[in-house]
Structures are given as C-alpha cells and as structure tokens.
A and B are shown apart, each in its own frame.
Chain A
C-alpha cells in the first residue's frame, strides 16, 4: 500500500487526542463532598464494569475514527485492487493538432478522431480525476471539471504548424507534477506523422523516462493517406513589385504520394480573384517537385494577397499558399556620385541611373523608379527620408554627421548600396560605417594602387538570394575589386554573389528595418564591364527589389510565428482586430498597438493557420495584410513504421484509434485503487456508531 499524501500520515498521531482527553477528563472533575456515599457505592459497584467497558468502547471508536480519517486524508492506494470508487487519477492528454492532423479521415479529419479518442479517455476516468488537455502549441493546466475538459477538447483547433512532440510531452509531465493521484497517465493522441517523430531517438528516450512516473498511452489516429500534392515553395521574385508591372511568382509543387500525378492545375489568385489561366504541370513524379512561374499584376499601390492554389486532396493545408506583396507606385533612389566627371557618360552613376529606369526618356515620368543624382558634397542637403534607397558610388567618405544620418536612415527602413571605386577611402568605411555604426557587414581590405585582381566573372551562391540568372551573371568581366573581410560572428552579413575565384562580390545584410548591399567593384566601367552587360539591369533591379521587399519581409511569416509590424507612433494604444481573410466564420481577435523598445508596433501571435490575415486598426485607413505559410515538413505522408511502434510499445501502451473504435480500454490496467472513499465511509459509520453509543451509554441507568 502506498500513500499519495504521505505527509498527512502524521495525522494518525491525532489518535492520541481522545486518549489525552480521556486522561485529562479523569483528572479534571468536579469535587463534591457527599454524604450519601453508601448509595453511591452501591450504584457504582453495580455499574463500574459496564461503565469502564463503555468508556473503552467509546475511546476505541474515537481513536479509530481519527486514525481512519488521517489515513483517509493520506489517500492510501491499494495495489492489486481496481474499480473502487473514489480512485482519482491525474491525466495529461496531449492532442497533436499539427498540420498533418488535418488529413481527411472518412467524413472528418485525424484531429476529429483524436478529439473522439480524448472523449473516450475522459469517459474512462474516475470521477474527480484531474485532466490537462493540451496541444503541442498550448500547454494547459489540469482541471477536475469534466465539462471544462470536454470544452477544451472541443476547442482544440487545427493548425498548419509542425509540432514539437518532445516539448509537448515535457509540458504534459510538468502538468502532472505535484498532483496526488493513484495513477498518473499521459495520453499522446497523434497520427504518428514521421516528421513529428523525426527526433525519434530523443522522443523514445523521453517516453521511457516518463514511463517511470506515469502510465503512457500513445493513441495513433488515422490511416496512411495515399496521395498528396502540395505547394512546397511560393517565392515572389526579388524584383521590384511595381504597380501594374508584371511581378514574377515562383512556385514549386511537390508530389508527396507514391504515384505520379499528371495534369496538375495550379491557379493564381490575386486578392482572392483568379488571375489568368491555371498553370498545368504535366506530370510530377513521386517525391519530386515541379516549378511553375506566374506573373502577377498588382493593381494598385499597397498590400496584395497573392495566392497559389491546387485542387483539393486529402491533405488540405498545403493546397493553398498565400504571400502578401506590397506594390509600389514610386521608388525614389538617391544616387551619390563620388566621381561625376566632365561628361554625363563619365559620371560614376551614369549606368546606374539608366539601369534603374531602363525605359526611354519620354517614358521615365511614368516609370515607378525615380533616381536623383547628387554629388558627395550635396548629400548633406538632401532629406534622406524622401528616398527608398541611397546608393554611394565611389564616394570617398562622408562627414561624421552624415554618417550618423545615414545610419539612422537605414535603421528606419531605408536601403543602402555601396559601390567602391578609386576614390573610396577604406579607413572611413571600415572605421566609421563598420566598426562604429556596424552599418556595413564587411570590411574593405586596403586596396593597393595598381593592383589587378585578374579577370573574373560573377556567379550566384547556392541560395541565390537575388534570384539572378546564372548565365547572365557570367557574361561580365571583372578586372579589379576590393577584397572583403567578413568578420566571423558579426551577425547578418550574407554572401549574395561571389566571383568565380570564390571571393565575395556582393554582401547583403539587414540593419534595423533597412537593408545594406556592399558590392566590391565599381558601378561604372572603371574596374569591370558589368554595366554594359545584360545582367546589370536585372542586378540593379533586384537590389532595389531586395531593399523594398525587405521592408515588407515581416508581412510573410511562418504559421505560429509572432507577427510584428511597425506602425506610425500616432497609432500607439489603439486597438486592432486581426482576422483570417476569406474565412467568414473566423472570429477577429483583439490586440493592442503598443510601444516596445521605443518603436510603435502591432504584435499578433495567434497565427496557427496558414493563409492571409488582416489587421484592422482603429484610425488606420487601410487594413494591414500579412500572410502565414504552413510548415512544409507536414506535407509528407510518411507515418511511423511497425518497428518504431514496437519500440514505443516498450514504454507506452500503443492503441490504434479509428472511427469505429470502442470507448473502453483506456482505463484497463490501472493497478491500484484509492481507498480514501471507503475509509471515509468507515469514518462516517464509526462517527454514527460513536454518537449512538455515546447517547446510549450516557443515558441514566
């Protein structure tokens, strides 16, 4: 026999209370000088034995009552008994609501089956048991109210996220800590999706560790799905998203099934409306991805929801994916020319200016990119906030004040592109902009005059963040360049382009809300012929697109990620209602715009579903759109294999649950029963007997 509240066993010492009271009563009496002792003697002699016996009986009953009460409060558990009333258990039910649980099963989903299994678990729990209904994304406190637990089961919502079952199990075990119950049980209701169990060894080890303190049940719901086509990638191109300009969208569709998929239609929707004809992929082999390219036209300035959709299948969450793209109708670029030259063509920014607006002179007024050229000395007169990006082309240096202004400008979301040249003073860039302001992600290694680097070409890195065509890049010849030193651990510096000898050509970094590109060669023809090659215009366009899109990068998040968006300080304290776009039943959730770390921003964490969201802010003329993308890992159809299930069965009871499964079985095998209720009844019975006997004994005889 074990006791759940062992500390209360000290209560058995209360047995001494009636004995002490009995002894004290024998010492505490009224003294009466009495004459008629003779009659008293006779009466006492006649009744003494009976009275002693009665006293002993009452004393024994009172001692037994207190002892049983103390033992009852200590909650003894008798192993080997089962089914006794009052045997409470403590359970933690973890319902996997990751994206794969949305897979269709019969008329419902795997999550529906898991909810039904959780109900069955609830049905097998003795009255008064505590249960915590949690998900991998939301731990829960235990409750002893069955209605509340059932409500929580109903409230478990489908997500489009990948679940960390290990953390969920740890949370479940924590929910059971400190709970006094004859049995502790953890139920993991999952589809056994292999991706959730990818860290199988760690999970198996955790299950074995938890099995020491609780009975584990792994309830496998659902059956393997045969086919799934999913959108595995949806990437807006790095180009500038300009109003009414074709904007490229790259899409990858993956066949996660075991049979080839043929004639797969892929639809594009802009702001919920179909845009053009579906793209049809002829065939996708099992386990392979095929790409599709769309050109979306964004009808006006502002945020647009660009959605790519496949036909329905059993795994719905990856059939649609949305990104939010902000279209711009005007992009102002400040070109700072460090070597204007005598003729326009000699200017350092000549090619840049044309590349930024690659249209005939008469069309430039309507072209969204508006470059403004100033000399190094004139930059101080410009209001940087009016520009989307600043390009320093062969600028020797800046004043200290200008360096400060430039740093602040980028931090607030501006873009900075640096092209070196003969005039560039590396001391200024390295000391002021890198070391002091940490604006530049790399250090220019001092360039020795006359040093030639040899003929080299550009090539994209593996990630190719600018999305440039590799053949176009290889057409340019680079004779000279600065070498860059990327100090390790400096943070955000990433190599975007390199030379064919492996040395860095373009490094990008994020700084505050802005973006910085650091190129190693000139923007004119002094050190290379890139400016006259076909790749230069898209290169410049992608730089610009990178800067503009980076400002809106936070509009596209992973499902489950916290959406953080900076807004005007005037909106501080306002309420915002965030709701899923296109779901008329979705309830808007209230959040507040608050000042954090000196910035005014909107934060929203309830982004468990993929798709577009809109935040309507009081006093803000247009809603703020953002989009969450689902976890690509959840699209896989692979479930745990028999071997893995056998290993899990070593430490847990593995149950398969389907639509036709019976309700029973979860409570079977509980080893012990609590005796407190029986003991409490015994206490009540003894109390009744004691009262009755005390009345009977104390009557006059």
Chain B
C-alpha cells in the first residue's frame, strides 16, 4: 500500500470504530451468513419451519427424520442470519475539491469512506463503492473479502474530480441497480438540486435501503469568515462573483443553514440518518460519535 493510500485510513478512527461496528438498522438481504437478520429463510443457525420438498431444492436440506416418520420429503427452513451490503457513494464532483484548511472535503470524504469500508469488511459485511459526480465514475462491486479493502482504497486514492454534481440520477440509478436491501451511505456536500436529491433518497428508501447522508463541509462554508473584497470562483464552472463577503455573511449563512435544515428534515421524514461533518473535525470523533449514536437507534 503506497503512503497516499495508507493515509486514507485513520488508525485512531479505525481503532475506535472497529469496536463499535456497524449494524443494519433495518432487515437487510445478505448473500451469506452474517450478523444481520435476513428476510430469507435459509440454512443458517436458527430453525424457522418445514416446507415440502420441491424439485430443484438442495437435497442437503432434506429433513431425514421427518421423512423417516412421515415418508414425505420436507425441507428444513431456518431464519437466516446474514450479512449486509453497504454501498458507499462518494461524491467526487469538483465542489468536493474545496478545502480551506489542510484537507479538502473530498479527502475527508475519502477517509471517511475508507474507514467505513474497513470497519464493515472487518465485521464480515460487504462493501460496494461508487464514486460519482454527474454519473458514477468509479464502481467496485460488493465484496466481503477483506482484501477488497485495498482495492477500495486504491480507487479512492486514485480518483481525481473533474465534473459537476448530479446526485439525483446517481441515487435513482443505484436504487434501480441494487437488488438486495442494504445500506446506502452517501458522502457528499450535497450542493445539488434539492428536489431531485430528495426524490433519489425517497427512491432508495422505497426500495428498502437504509440511507445515510454524510454531509462533508468545510468550516469556511459553514462560518463564511471572509473579509475584504473577494472574488469567488465557482468550482463547477459557475460564473465568478466579486463581492464583499462581510456584507452578505448573514444572508449567506441564513441560506446555507436553511439548506442544511431542509436536508435534515428530508432525512428525518425518510428515516435516514444525517451526519454533518466539518473537515476540521477529527474523523475518529465524527465516526465514533455517529456509530455510538447508531447503536442506540438500531431497530428504530
């Protein structure tokens, strides 16, 4: 692992998050035995019921004791403990390139995605990664193989943003694409069309996915501390604006806070978790705070 890639993993965040783990809040449709309840009746640990054998069933699941008593073929069905698939959707648009401090929002998002992938893979759940801007630019299919972490991290480290943001089609696409119910974690600044974005979230929720919105923001975007004459050059080909920020600060903050509030409200209405993150916040703190909070809300 090269140093750039390795940098994505915050050892403290991993150490603290690993102990907390990530549990699915809703019933997920895994593809293997795992810690999370699955709607499938399968062949895992906890017996559920018998059903009559049908051609094509795996003969290994025949209950020979029942056959001996009844001379009929029954298949044993169990409530299957399965794993989940977490789909990490990282916004790789140009707006994520902004960073007033040491790291950009994208770097912060990459680190968050890497840490989540690590934690999820280490609890033997599966992770799929998609990096998008106006469409999905990078995609790694689900995998529960721990070795897949390196691939995820390499993809994260190697990605450079180029385009604008269109979250809605990506969310709709993911909702259509993902067959099994899982967790969709969207890491973005969400500087996009709100209505489309909300529809995308609702689409995912309608498909049964748990949706977590992790909003990465730079402190300057939240506090808007600029003074003097400033020319703001849009990162996504938005025309430049020359202004005195101090004179419009309150107006900006009002607009910005209203946007965040609408995002929170949308999440609340759609039973999604909303995680606000500042790039000047310690990653471990953000992650563990959320995971700890999440532990308290599993099943709700």
The tally of residues in A whose CB lies under 8 Å from a CB in B reads 29
Q: How far is the CB of B206 from chain A (nearest CB, A)?
A: 27
Interface residue ranges of A28-48 to B (CB < 8 Å): 28-44, 46-48
Contact of B243 with A51 in the complex, beta carbons under 8 Å: yes
Contact of B247 with A35 in the complex, beta carbons under 8 Å: no
Apart from A29-B229, A51-B248, A701-B249, 11 more pairs, CB < 8 Å: A26-B242, A31-B233, A35-B97, A35-B234, A35-B235, A40-B241, A51-B243, A51-B244, A698-B247, A700-B248, A701-B247
Q: Tell which of B231, B247, B255 touches A42, judged by Cβ atoms closer than 8 Å.
A: B255
B-side contacts of A39, CB under 8 Å? 252, 255-256, 259
Can you give 16 contacting A-B residue pairs, CB < 8 Å?
Answer: A32-B230, A33-B97, A35-B96, A35-B105, A35-B221, A35-B235, A36-B189, A36-B191, A39-B252, A39-B255, A39-B259, A40-B243, A43-B251, A44-B243, A46-B248, A51-B244
Q: Provide the bound-state CA to CA distance between A26 and B243, in Å.
A: 9
Contact of A43 with B248 in the complex, beta carbons under 8 Å: yes
Contact of A32 with B232 in the complex, beta carbons under 8 Å: yes
Q: How far is the CB of B9 from chain A (nearest CB, A)?
A: 25
Q: Provide the bound-state CA to CA distance between A446 and B96, in Å.
A: 130
A31 and B231 in contact, given A40-B241, A47-B247, A698-B247 (Cβ under 8 angstroms): yes
The 4 lowest CB-CB distance pairs between A and B, nearest first, are: A35-B98, A29-B229, A35-B95, A43-B251
A-side contacts of B256, CB under 8 Å? 36, 39
A701 and B250 in contact, given A30-B230, A34-B235, A37-B238 (Cβ under 8 angstroms): yes
A33 and B235 in contact, given A38-B191, A47-B247, A698-B246 (Cβ under 8 angstroms): yes
Interface residue ranges of A664-701 to B (CB < 8 Å): 697-701
Interface residue ranges of B201-245 to A (CB < 8 Å): 218, 221, 226, 228-236, 238, 241-244
Q: How far is the CB of B187 from chain A (nearest CB, A)?
A: 15
Contact of B259 with A700 in the complex, beta carbons under 8 Å: no
Q: Tell which of B105, B232, B251 touches A37, judged by Cβ atoms closer than 8 Å.
A: B232
Q: How far is the CB of B104 from chain A (nearest CB, A)?
A: 9
Encode contact with A along B124-151: 1 for CB under 8 Å, 0 otherwise: 0000000000000000000000000000
The answer to whether A273 has its CB under 8 Å from any CB of chain B is no
Q: How far is the CB of B222 from chain A (nearest CB, A)?
A: 9
Q: How far is the CB of B156 from chain A (nearest CB, A)?
A: 19
A34 and B255 in contact, given A44-B248, A700-B249 (Cβ under 8 angstroms): no
A-side contacts of B242, CB under 8 Å? 26, 29
B-side contacts of A31, CB under 8 Å? 230-231, 233
Q: How far is the CB of A512 from chain B (nearest CB, A)?
A: 88
Contact of B246 with A30 in the complex, beta carbons under 8 Å: no
A34 and B98 in contact, given A29-B230, A39-B256, A43-B255 (Cβ under 8 angstroms): yes
Contact of B191 with A41 in the complex, beta carbons under 8 Å: no
Contact of A29 with B255 in the complex, beta carbons under 8 Å: no
- Closest Cβ neighbor of A54 among chain B residues: B247
Q: How far is the CB of A239 from chain B (nearest CB, A)?
A: 102
Q: Tell which of B234, B246, B247, B249 touches A34, judged by Cβ atoms closer than 8 Å.
A: B234
Interface residue ranges of A9-60 to B (CB < 8 Å): 25-26, 28-44, 46-48, 51, 54
B-side contacts of A35, CB under 8 Å? 94-98, 105, 189, 191, 218, 221, 234-236
Majority DSSP secondary structure for residues of B touching A: mixed
Q: How far is the CB of A350 from chain B (nearest CB, A)?
A: 118
B-side contacts of A37, CB under 8 Å? 232, 234-236, 238, 241
A43 and B252 in contact, given A26-B242, A30-B229, A35-B105 (Cβ under 8 angstroms): yes
Contact of A26 with B244 in the complex, beta carbons under 8 Å: no
- Closest Cβ neighbor of B96 among chain A residues: A35
Q: Provide the bound-state CA to CA distance between A191 and B137, in Å.
A: 111
Contact of A32 with B231 in the complex, beta carbons under 8 Å: yes
- Closest Cβ neighbor of A28 among chain B residues: B229
Q: How far is the CB of A620 from chain B (nearest CB, A)?
A: 83
Q: Provide the bound-state CA to CA distance between A21 and B241, in Å.
A: 20
Q: Tell which of B189, B233, B247, B250 touches A32, judged by Cβ atoms closer than 8 Å.
A: B233
Q: Provide the bound-state CA to CA distance between A698 and B246, in Å.
A: 7
Q: How far is the CB of A388 from chain B (nearest CB, A)?
A: 99
A47 and B248 in contact, given A33-B98, A35-B105, A40-B241 (Cβ under 8 angstroms): yes
Q: Provide the bound-state CA to CA distance between A28 and B230, in Å.
A: 9
A-side contacts of B234, CB under 8 Å? 34-35, 37
Q: Tell which of A28, A44, A54, A700 touches B246, judged by Cβ atoms closer than 8 Å.
A: A700
Contact of B235 with A701 in the complex, beta carbons under 8 Å: no
Contact of B235 with A26 in the complex, beta carbons under 8 Å: no
Contact of A30 with B105 in the complex, beta carbons under 8 Å: no
Q: Provide the bound-state CA to CA distance between A33 and B161, in Å.
A: 14
- Closest Cβ neighbor of B249 among chain A residues: A700
- Closest Cβ neighbor of A31 among chain B residues: B231
Q: How far is the CB of A39 from chain B (nearest CB, A)?
A: 4
B-side contacts of A34, CB under 8 Å? 98, 232-235
Q: Provide the bound-state CA to CA distance between A699 and B95, in Å.
A: 29
Q: Provide the bound-state CA to CA distance between A41 and B191, in Å.
A: 13
Interface residue ranges of B173-189 to A (CB < 8 Å): 189
Q: Provide the bound-state CA to CA distance between A54 and B259, in Å.
A: 29
A40 and B249 in contact, given A35-B191, A51-B243 (Cβ under 8 angstroms): no
Q: Provide the bound-state CA to CA distance between A28 and B191, in Å.
A: 29
Q: How far is the CB of A40 from chain B (nearest CB, A)?
A: 6
B-side contacts of A36, CB under 8 Å? 95, 98, 189, 191, 221, 256
A29 and B191 in contact, given A35-B221, A36-B256, A37-B241 (Cβ under 8 angstroms): no
